[in-house]
Structure 1
């Protein structure tokens, strides 16, 4: 039997080919990985509705076909460049697929009664060649897009008191985005579809706990002369105890702040709520039908524990995919190409969405890795994209309303969960009609 005897320098010569081959193999694998990450994405039609649940189906939309985290270079728009750095820093391939991250607690008013306002930062504005020609709301957003911590002026620490476990927690927490002056909208919601308490489904006798809270910023004194409504808001809150208000200017481009700050508040004040409805104060919701849907499609019965547990990472609404930013300066949705370039991620648009409490807790963390974006619906899509979650489309979320000829027909609402938009008077009228008419449809 032959033996190979290598010592000293001869041993190095024996091992050298194996070391070279191992380095070559690593180089080939890295090259293939980078090449795959630069492969072109599939072409999609200009606009399509993502697959998912219909009014008669509880199936969830499939998860993304490929990972979000890639090594693709981004174009020169400001948000894309800033976010690319964030995505590389939190790439789960390098750091592990974990949603653990920095924590943010609820911020309260200072002891002396003062508040903590954000200081404008002009460093990003200097990188936008067309900054001086942008609409005022876009300029304001660029100057404050680094700010996330604002003083909580009105809190509701007892909203979920006594419901500190999954079995006692609300089935549904309704978080409604409103403004200081929208007193009529809030009161109409309290008297109709947003009433807090024990709510019964339309087809089931079981009662479920529902809580409602309104999300507000501070009155914007820059929009023109108007009376100070602070005292009236305080009186309203003393009676209803359902207003959350933070110390930031309440504008359309700051709606994203309401999401971020609400997720922080939720994790402290009502973390066990099973589902969250996030909506605007000009939508109309059928709460009984929504509860039936949650109960039927998103709950799985654990017979051994005799309790229900929600499916995790669920987001349901009117899902829009392959949408592009609006480039017309006259629209309030205008996003300059110098700020953001590319197609929006798949998102649930319009006046309202429903998502699970477990997803809300994950959104709270991942939102700290996603740069602020002016449009709240798109920002939510950006966050769930980085979590690898696909929204579920439901045809009962009518964000573009019913056909005009059907709007006054109660039976036309039989499969509707949400419709946008309705005035306070229309909410009250429609609520009365549906309570007495749907049973005969």
Structure 2
């Protein structure tokens, strides 16, 4: 069922900074941008907003790499205007970068991290009034009953005595994605259409409800990202080519499973990259600038060192040990691939030399090979239907401006 038609009013900037993904936070984020004179170019390149970008990157990487999701603690004082700006716009920046990647897996990873963070905060890290505000934002209704509990500490008794009930329609919609006997309808007490979120040995009624809210937050965020991606044109998405590329490079070296954000479609590769590969394959002696660019570009696209080394096998001076050593040095340095002007200066732009014709390269905003990749990915993503239908759209300004514990462990299906 859709979200409530009218959301409860939230006037606290600190609350919106803690939960910047709330529907009520969309206008607040716009006001942060306007009040601080931050346009898109400033958000991406402005020196004074570097803390915002750093916070956004941290938020992204926490979501993707840590099984428990984004840390529930903020890095800045959200009771101060500066901290509110950094936390709020850090979330906004992270969302734009994730969307500009046009990678459904990345979107889902980031959303999972944000939803898991919300689950932890809603479970026990915020006051009761705030919890009810968020609950009424995402559910059609909720009611609370007090149940006496003896033989526990004062703190535990207070939280354990509150028993939450929600409409059956909300439970039916949100519970199927959660495994465990607790979430089967036959195991939940129902009275006049209200489902009781009973406490368990491990969790309170509120923590059980927070787990359900996680599913709603996940749905809303995924759909919001999907709409953002549909609105992004090539030029807008290309502006984020550099941060997306850097994120891929960092993920490449992170612990745990490797996530390649960019799809390894050779059709996405820019002419400067494919021409360097072709020249080397034909035994031509590509200059140092061309080799360095090919190595940095391979790393940015998430290719392994072995995959990158294969491009150099037919080079006149090829030595496997030397090649892998040099590639390892460049990969470890995480250098950004050279810009178009630099490649032209070193005679590594086949389009400017007239040997290859590519209309995309001739666009005024095409200033970096990674922009070419993002533009190609966007076009492919636009022509490919999503893996599954998503719900609850949350419109934004146009493109210019661990799971909870219970009777059984909860896992996403």
Structure with more strand by fraction = 1
TM-score normalised per structure 2: 0.21
TM-score by length of 1: 0.20
User: Which has a greater percent of helix?
Assistant: 2
